[in-house]
Amino acid sequence: MNDVAKVIPLHDVQIEPRQRPIPRRWPEVSSGVSGSGRVTSLTERLTSVEPPAPQSLSSLVRGAVGKQIGKTAEFARRRLSGEYQVDEFGFDEHLLESVVLPVLRPISDLWFRVQVNGMENIPETGGALIVANHAGTVPLDGLMLQLAVHDRHPKQRALRLLAADLIFEMPVLGVLARKAGHTLACREDAERLLRSSELTGVFPEGFKGVGKQFADRYKLQRFGRGGFVAAAVRTGVPIIPCSIVGSEEIYPKLADLKPLARLLGLPYFPVTPLFPHFGPLGAVPLPSKWYIEFGAPIPTSGYEPEAADDPMTMFEVTDQVRETIQQTLYKLLTKRRNAFTG
């Protein structure tokens, strides 16, 4: 006989009750106290902060234009009211900082991308004579040097450059050069500036350097008879050698139209790859990469003022300055990969 299945009564079966999942809740993090004393949560604080509205391009342009208009109005007010000073050389520092240097900054920062080293060698106070190599067909290196000293020096010192007579004979350029702080490259003016504790700059190569052929680039020309050294010795100020790389490539001079230069009363009339063939377009300088390096100061305080009249002493110091600049030029050139990319 088959076994009879045992029936288990339903009331004897134990069914485990199903566990319902407990809903998770993010813990409220106290992050502040409201004005009523109630503790506010982080969520409430985050949701209550409204993000700043993005500024449109038109509003940014209007802000920049308004700022420039304000600067122009302030400049005009000071000029009309006479709230500026001009020294005995014609230097107008307000005009230099408000007009001349702002025009030069985009050229230096964006076009030539000037890199400056050795700024710590320029004293914060007192007179000093910066001696630099000169090149480029058009002497833009003087302007770039003046801007670099002003903008990179902790005290934003104004560099007073000694320039050739030809600059001051030009109708508009001569007046602007005076107002920018330049003066004649003569011993008397140099000594007056240095005795007045001015930072003074000189390019001893003169037109021989700035107008040399591209084939002779970065080869220093003769430094004259050492008149700048005599001025430094008489005033007891240090001489700071300065080497500039990059200026030789802005207008590569391939030839010189001497008959035309004599006709115009110029020291030379250059022929470059772009000028005069392309007219005004050829006057645009090539965007070479610039390096300006200031060397260690050469003291002159150990010499007696009478040593300025000794030709041999002046020749030795002049040769030391020239050799320092030349060797630094070679060093910078070996580090440079390309004249236009650095």
Q: What is the pLDDT along the chain (342 residues), one digit of tens a residue?
A: 444 444 444 444 444 545 555 555 544 444 444 444 454 555 555 455 555 556 677 777 777 677 778 878 888 888 888 888 999 999 999 999 999 999 999 999 999 999 999 999 999 999 999 999 999 999 999 999 999 999 999 999 999 999 999 999 999 999 999 999 999 999 999 999 999 999 999 999 999 999 999 999 999 999 977 899 999 999 999 999 999 999 999 999 999 999 999 999 999 999 999 999 999 999 999 999 999 999 999 999 999 999 999 999 999 999 999 999 999 999 999 999 999 998
Give residue for tokens 């790859």.
273
Cα–Cα distance for residue pair 309/241, rounded to 1 Å: 22
Other beta carbons less than 10 A from residue 259's beta carbon: 9
Contacts of 61 (CB under 8 A, 6+ apart): none
What pLDDT shows up at residue 26? 45
* pLDDT score of 62: 76
Q: Which helix (H) or strand (E) holds 79?
A: helix 57-81
107 touches 282 (CB < 8 A): no
pTM, two decimals, is: 0.80
pLDDT at residue 55 in the model: 67
**pLDDT, position 35:** 47
Q: How many CA atoms lie within 13 A of 268 on its CB side?
A: 19
CA distance 153 to 141: 17
